Each structure stands twice: as C-alpha cells, then as structure tokens.
Amino acid sequence: MAQAKQGDTVKVHYTGKLQDGTVFDSSVDKEPLTCTIGDGQVISGFEQAIVGMNPGDSKTTEVSADDAYGQHLDDLVMEVGRDELPEDIDPEVGQRLVGMQGDGKKIVFTVTEMSDKSVTLDANHPLAGQDLTFDLELLEIV
C-alpha cells in the first residue's frame, strides 16, 4: 500500500483543536480537504503529519505554533485613531477588516480592543502563538 509522501495529492478528514479541546475547524460531515503535500496549501505541521500515512489510517498529532501559524508578534498589533478608519466602518471587537499594505498587498486585521477614541488592530493570524492538535484520517492518495 502506498504511503503519503511529498508531492502527493491527498484527501483528508481532519478536526483541529486548541489545547483546551475547543474545536476551531473540522471537515467531518463536510467534503474532505484535498491538498498537495509540500505545496504550502496548509500549515507545515499538518502536511508533515500526513507524510507516511496510508489510506485508511487515522492519527492524532500535536502541531507546535512554529509549525502552525507562527508565534504571536507584538509588532503586528497597532492602535489607530477611530478617525483613521473609513467612515463607513463601525468597528466591533472580533471584527475582521481588510487593509492595504504600501506594496498593494491585502492585510487582514482583527479588532481586539476599542475605546472612544481608538481601535486596536491585530494582523496576526487568529491562531498565531497557539499549539494545535489535529485528528487526521487519510482517505485517499489521488
């Protein structure tokens, strides 16, 4: 039986959990995830966990923050005046806003705090700095 290796396109069911057991994403009861190992379509720790699995195999794996969404970086958190936001935006904590970098690339911010005069925006991925657990089931190597 073929084992999953770099370059293989695979179909996987997964459930991703935080360290406290909270499920943050799952493909169970949905279409399985299809990805090519090594293409960077998913986090590296997820890809590495699939390598060596056979179709029909299931396992649980721990993925460190460094192999997931990286560490939380304080320099990606900024406080801006409410008057610096577009007039049509009425920010709320937890809201995701899209901005543009100087080079024209989009950047996604999460509103993390608000006061009467300012809004704190965090450009880190919401799961940055967190170790994750994945329950994986390799369905097939395409």
Mean pLDDT throughout 44-60?
96
pLDDT tens digits along 117-141 = 999 999 999 999 999 999 999 999 9
Task: Give dist(CA 51, CA 71) in Å, integer.
Answer: 24
Q: What average pLDDT does range 37-43 have in this prediction?
A: 94
Same-domain status, 15 and 53: yes
- Is 38 in the same domain as 105? no
User: What CATH number should be reported for the domain holding residue 17?
Assistant: 3.10.50.40
Distance CA 44, CA 61 (A): 12
Looking at 5-9, 24-28, 71-75, 99-103, which range is the least confident one?
A: 99-103
Residue-range definition of the domain harbouring residue 53: 9-70+127-141
Mean pLDDT of the chain: 94
Whether residues 101 and 116 share a domain: the answer is yes
117 shares its domain with 136:
no
Amino acid at site 31? E
At 102 the pLDDT is: 84
CATH of the domain at 98: 2.40.10.330
User: Is residue 78, in this structure, part of any structural domain at all?
Assistant: yes
Assess whether 13 and 65 both reside in one domain: yes
What is the C-alpha to C-alpha distance for residues 70 and 2, in angstroms, rounded to an integer? 31
Rounded CA-CA distance 9/117 in Å is 50
Residue 73 above 90 pLDDT?
yes
- Are 132 and 107 part of one and the same domain? no
Percent of the chain with pLDDT over 70: 99
Same domain, 15 and 45: yes
In whole angstroms, give the CA distance from residue 98 to residue 123.
10
Name the domain count of the chain. Answer: 2
Residues 95-119: tens digit of each pLDDT? 999 988 889 899 999 999 999 999 9
CA-based nearest residue to 33, from 13, 9, 52: 13
Element (DSSP H or E) covering residue 44:
helix 44-50
Same domain, 108 and 133: no
C-beta separation of 141 from 2 below 8 A: yes
- Phi/psi of residue 83, each to 5°? -70, -10
Residue 61 sits in the same domain as residue 103? no
pLDDT at 52: 96
The answer as to whether 2 is a domain residue is: no
